[in-house]
């Protein structure tokens, strides 16, 4: 997983999302056309449906067990997080994404390049320190 946290314009402004490390995913809220991931002291609103990777399996919105896969991460603690621009990444060659790693090959991936989204923003992060960040 990425060690460097950068925003899509490669500036360090995405640093607050790094606060998720050590937090537990406590709730998953499915709202009309987006999902909110609620952690101990922070929330990530995903206006692009996240991809869930559990071991060798990948779940996308619309897949039969998507909700179950996403909710299976409730109570898990974030091990690493980053906002990456990974042109060399082998599985996602031109990716720009928020990656939330729970360890043991459990990852939530929020694409920042999803052309299917009708939203202008891909995600919004806020925490109890009043940090806000929108991609």
| CB contact at 8 A, 122 and 114 | yes
Beta-bridged to residue 124, according to DSSP, are 45, 134
* Residue 97 counted as domain residue: yes
First to last CA, the chain: 20
Most confident of 2-6, 9-13, 16-20, 70-74: 70-74
Tokens of 68: 């179950």
* Residue 6 counted as domain residue: no
pLDDT digits (tens, 9 = 90+) for 46-93: 999 999 999 999 999 999 999 999 999 999 999 999 887 755 545 555
* Residue 122 counted as domain residue: no
Residue 106 CA to residue 115 CA, distance in Å, equals 25
Residue 7 CA to residue 82 CA, distance in Å, equals 9
| CB contact at 8 A, 39 and 78 | yes
- Predicted TM-score (pTM) of this structure: 0.81
* Residue 119 counted as domain residue: no
Residue ranges making up the domain that contains 66: 12-113
Q: Which residues lie closer than 8 Å to 70 by C-beta, 6 or more apart? A: 28, 35, 50, 52, 59, 108
| Percentage of the chain lying above the pLDDT 70 cut | 76
Q: What integer pLDDT is reported at residue 15 of this predicted model?
A: 66
* Residue 128 counted as domain residue: no
pLDDT digits (tens, 9 = 90+) for 101-115: 999 899 999 998 765
The tally of domains found in the chain comes to 1
Half-sphere exposure of 3 (CA within 13 A, CB side): 0
Residue 38 CA to residue 104 CA, distance in Å, equals 21
* Residue 24 counted as domain residue: yes
């Amino acid at each position: 997983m990425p060690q460097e946290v950068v925003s899509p314009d490669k500036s360090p402004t995405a640093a607050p999302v790094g606060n998720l490390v050590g937090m537990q995913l406590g709730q998953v809220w499915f709202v009309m056309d987006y999902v909110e991931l609620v952690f101990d002291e922070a929330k990530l609103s995903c206006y692009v449906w996240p991809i869930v990777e559990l071991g060798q399996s990948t779940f996308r919105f619309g897949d039969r067990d998507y909700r179950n896969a996403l909710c299976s991460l409730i109570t898990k603690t974030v091990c690493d997080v980053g906002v990456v621009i990974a042109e060399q990444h082998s599985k996602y060659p031109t990716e720009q994404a928020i990656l939330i790693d729970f360890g043991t090959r459990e990852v939530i991936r929020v694409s920042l390049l999803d052309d299917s989204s009708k939203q202008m923003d891909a995600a919004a992060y806020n925490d109890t320190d009043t940090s806000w960040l929108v991609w």
